[in-house]
Amino acid sequence: MRDSGRLHRLCALLSAIIGIAISQQSSFAGTCPCDIYATGGTPCVAAHSTVRALYSTYNGPLYQVTRKSDSKTKDIGVLSPGGLANSAAQDSFLTGTTGSISIIYDQSGQGNHLYPAPSGNWPPAETAAAATGAKIMMNGHTVYGIYTTAGNFPNNTLVAGVGYRNNKATGLATGNQPEGMYMVCSGTHYNQWCCFDYGNAEANDTDDGNATMECIYFGSSTQWGHGDTLPTKGPWVMADLENGLFAGGTSGTNNGNTPIAASYVTGMVKGDSGNRYAIKGGNADSGSLKTMYNGTRPSGYNPMKKQGAIILGIGGDNSHTAIGTFFEGAITTGYPPDSTENAIQANIVAARYGSSVTATRYSVNDEVPVSPVRVHYNPSSGSAVVSYFLQDARRVSMNIADLQGRQVAAIFDGVIPAGQHQAVWNARQVPAGVYVWRIAMDGRDGWSGKIVIER
């Protein structure tokens, strides 16, 4: 018979950390998104990213940082052709001070760089994003995205939000010419307002009427059309065609456009030279794209009257009540085939947004805090506690299974913000035996550990 000191004793063993042990990579094998578009016959005419090159041979600057302390600037390039951003150069440049992202360079060769937007229908002019406002890990390497904020009205004084624009862009579709576009953005930083957009907009900062823009929107707006509201009210990938956000072919609800619950989201919009356009979306970390809509344009939006300017983080008239975080995107000439877009999604997944490098095993017999995971025994409550650290927001699912793989307890399933967290399993009601604690991140296995319960 076991002594009372061992009654309800919970011995926890973390057997493995499965986050796929990989070496840090500064470049990607094979092609990049704009190489794929070109192969499909729809070349990029604008390519923007602060996290990586969008061409396998690109070796130029991704963005410019302006230092607050002295207003000096520095271009931030890539670690190698076709590779990730050289974030260490930014970190060194900003040591002891802060800065902003003053230019997002166009990698396509068209010179379609993005700058803080001027004043339009919504004054004042937009501001540049904080240089370190969207720090994430990408394939084990630190990079920085474009963290946009909304304008507001403290003390009845209008304060600008963050947004970028180029009203003199070249090479983009105008009128009813065909085009395609994609972006990768945060799946957790959004709101219900208009408009966190990326794409083709008016060239004069004003609302020029229906069909004068064609952009990707991500958020939970229900002001115009919207997607399926079950089980949650967004967020959705939609199209901003001016004077309306559309989830499908009408300004109403499109139940085929389903919410996307993911840390990072791929959004796509494309329109042909007839009366057809499509919306696609998916998890940028795993899986394939879903076609949210493919059909005729809404009434009053054919033919299109596109003007060929570029916006990021704002609406066509510079409206800046929405928020979001942008990492990469491109605009093409021509209507991309589905096969090309599928290859783009596969390339994005391979880029490993939010992924850090780890292959460490931790002992659970000591109580020294470790990262990213530790497991310890709490004898006072008969529970197991998992402590873990997230470098950025992720969708986390935790459950307990027996050795036959049958789930015996669901601990948590939802989006967890960055930072240190704990999860607790009360094991008093289960019989003695061996159990497995399983943690998945964004639908992929993350950690698993054996739990031995003795009575």
pLDDT at 455: 56
pLDDT at 140: 83
The active-site residue, picked from 317, 341, 392, 442, is: 317
pLDDT at 26: 40
Which CATH code of 3.40.190.10, 3.40.50.300, 2.60.120.200, 3.90.1150.10 fits the domain covering 33-55+98-350?
2.60.120.200
- Extract the residue ranges of the chain whose pLDDT is less than 50: 1-29, 154, 357-381
Q: What is the pTM for the complete model shown?
A: 0.74
Is residue 242 flagged as an active site residue? yes
> Which residues touch 29 (CB under 8 Å, ≥6 apart)?
none
Is residue 374 within 8 A of residue 37, CB to CB? The reply is no
Q: What is the pLDDT of residues 46-89, one digit of tens each?
A: 999 999 999 999 999 999 999 999 999 999 999 999 999 999 99
pLDDT at 160: 72
145, two tokens: 């995205």
pLDDT at 113: 98
Is residue 328 flagged as an active site residue? no
Is residue 307 within 8 A of residue 99, CB to CB? The reply is no
pLDDT at 55: 98
Tell me the DSSP string of 306-349.
Answer: B--EEEESS-TT------EEEEEEEEEES---HHHHHHHHHHHH
Tell me the DSSP string of 257-298.
Answer: S----SSEEEEEEEE-SSSEEEEEEEETTSS--EEEEEEEPP
Q: What is the pLDDT of residues 171-211, one digit of tens each?
A: 999 999 999 999 999 999 999 999 999 999 999 999 999 99
- Give CA angle at 417 (415, 419), nearest 5°: 140
Query: Which residue carries 């793989």 as its tokens?
Result: 405
Instruction: Give domain limits for the chain.
Output: 4-21+360-453, 33-55+98-350
**CATH architecture of the domain with residue range 4-21+360-453:** Sandwich (2.60)
The active-site residue, picked from 179, 242, 341, 392, is: 242
Cα→Cα distances 298→171, 211, 251, 331, Å: 26, 10, 7, 22
Is residue 270 within 8 A of residue 181, CB to CB? The reply is yes
